[in-house]
Amino acid sequence: MTKELQLFQQHVARNGCHQSVKRERVLEIFLETQSHVSAQELHGLVRKKYPGIGYTTVYRTLKMIADSGLAVEVDFNDGVKRFERKLGRDLHAHFICTKCGRGFEVFDEGIKKISLSLAKRKKFSLQKLRYELFGVCRECSRS
């Protein structure tokens, strides 16, 4: 059993939920993703391998995955919620291209430091942060 599955099962148990094979399948596929996915997109991926799993289950499981701390939400400002794996302690930003709509990942440590100090200053307990940059990507600015 992977460390992620273990964490997920713990979260499930802690919330008085039953085990479920389908949820494990959804988690499995989610963990294979390399970047942000929406519930719809994840459902598409899940269906390829496990056709018997419906959208609602994927939707709800994705939420549970995020609640369990294995995923974080990212927002490209297009009305669709996307999630991506939370990899270790890496905090990263997203560049969202306002022309082509793609999202690029950028890693940086400074943001975290600043965020923690701001939170401390305001006596705010920090749960998560969102840091996204909008602009035009290199390719789009050529054309």
Partner DNA sequence: TATTAAATTGAAATTCAATTTCATGTTTGA
Partner DNA sequence: TCAAACATGAAATTGAATTTCAATTTAATA
Complex with DNA: residue 9 or 115, whichever CB lies closer: 9
Query: What is the radius of gyration, based on Cα positions, of the chain?
Result: 17
Residues between 75 and 104 with contacts to DNA, criterion CB under 7 A? 79-81
Q: Cβ–Cβ contacts within 10 Å for residue 18, how many?
A: 7
103 neighbors 95 (Cβ within 8 angstroms): yes
Whose structure tokens read 């082509």? 100
Complex with a second copy: residue 34 or 124, whichever CB lies closer: 124
* Residue 14 three-state SS: helix
Residue 35 in the binding site for DNA (CB under 7 A): no
Complex with a second copy: residue 54 or 135, whichever CB lies closer: 135
Return the one option of a second copy, DNA, none that residue 57 interacts with (CB less than 5 to 8 A, by type): DNA
Q: Cβ–Cβ contacts within 10 Å for residue 44, how many?
A: 14
Among 22, 92, 102, 112, binds DNA (CB under 7 A): 22
Residues at the contact surface with a second copy, assessed by CB under 8 A: 73, 75, 77, 93, 95, 97-98, 104, 106, 108, 110-111, 114-115, 118-119, 121-138, 141
Q: Cβ–Cβ contacts within 10 Å for residue 104, how many?
A: 13
* Residue 30 three-state SS: helix
Residue 19 in the binding site for DNA (CB under 7 A): yes
Site residues (CB under 7 A) for DNA? 12, 16-23, 38-40, 52-57, 59-61, 63, 79-81
